[in-house]
Amino acid sequence: MTRFEAADNTLDLYQIWINLPAASKRVPAEFKMLWNEDIPVVDVGENARVKVIAGRFGDAAAPAPPLNSWASNPDADVTILLIQLDPGATVTLPATGRPDTNRVLYVHGEGAAATVDGAEVGDGWGFAQTAPGELTITTAERPATVLVLQGAPIGEPVAQRGPFVMNTEAEVAQAFADYRQTGFGGWPHATDAPVFPRDQGRFARHGDGRVEDPASRR
């Protein structure tokens, strides 16, 4: 990340939650870092780029997700794409892998507007695909960023409160109780808001103590 001393440091952040089926809600905790340099980027013509964060786009496949993620199930048809379109760009998304797959798009960018399946979608607005098939995204005079989220429905009841998503209210209550009792295994830092040295590069510390440093792979 570039840090500026005499200017604003702006950051666009997406927080995306993928639910789990009941059979996977109590599997051992796991996370995986998707380092930027490992995420494939597909050039579409000369004025559009598709970053493949989950699933596939054309011949490009995203890094493998955590083992028990809903995204690791091929039948789930999970795809996450981040598309950067210059003015006058066109990107066509292939049909989803299942007719019941949900696909939604979110457009952002100052003054941005994209035409999606004939509908104009402006900055901060979304589009939900309602019929199976390809989907064409175009821009006119301004660039736009388009986040694409798709996945097949799990088809189970949902009970949600705070950060917990379970199948029943009783399971949500139990999740809160587990958190209050153990903190899900304990917090490894001396403070609730640890701050690392400014000159420290990117790293990830996994639950088993392993430290992953993308710079060391070069």
- Give me the residue label for tokens 């604003």: 8
pLDDT at 8: 85
Burial class (CB in 10 A: 0-12, 13-18, 19+), 86: middle
- The pTM of the full predicted model, rounded to 2 decimals, is 0.90
Tokens of 9: 């440091």
DSSP 126-192: EEE--SSS-EEEEE-SS-EEEEEEEE----S--EEETTEEESSHHHHHHHHHHHHHHTTT---SSSS
CA dist 206 and 106 (Å) reads: 31
For the segment 181-197, the average pLDDT, to the nearest whole number, is 83
pLDDT at 2: 59
pLDDT at 196: 87
Whether the Cβ atoms of residue 139 and residue 89 lie closer than 8 Å to each other: yes
**Per-domain boundaries in the chain:** 22-151, 157-186
pLDDT per residue as tens digits for the range 115-126: 999 999 999 999
137 half-sphere exposure, CB direction, 13 A CA radius: 35
pLDDT at 4: 77
Domain 22-151 sits in CATH at 2.60.120.10
pLDDT per residue as tens digits for the range 53-65: 999 999 999 999 9
Q: What is the CA radius of gyration of the chain?
A: 20
What is the longest distance spanned by two Cα atoms in the chain?
A: 55
DSSP 2-52: ---SSS--------------GGGTTSPP------GGGS-EEE-TTSEEEEE
Burial 41-52 (b: 16+ CB within 10 A, else e): ebebeebbbbbb
pLDDT at 216: 76
The runs of H, that is alpha helices, within 74-115 are none
Point out which residues pair with 104 in neighbouring strands: 128, 149
For the segment 13-37, the average pLDDT, to the nearest whole number, is 91
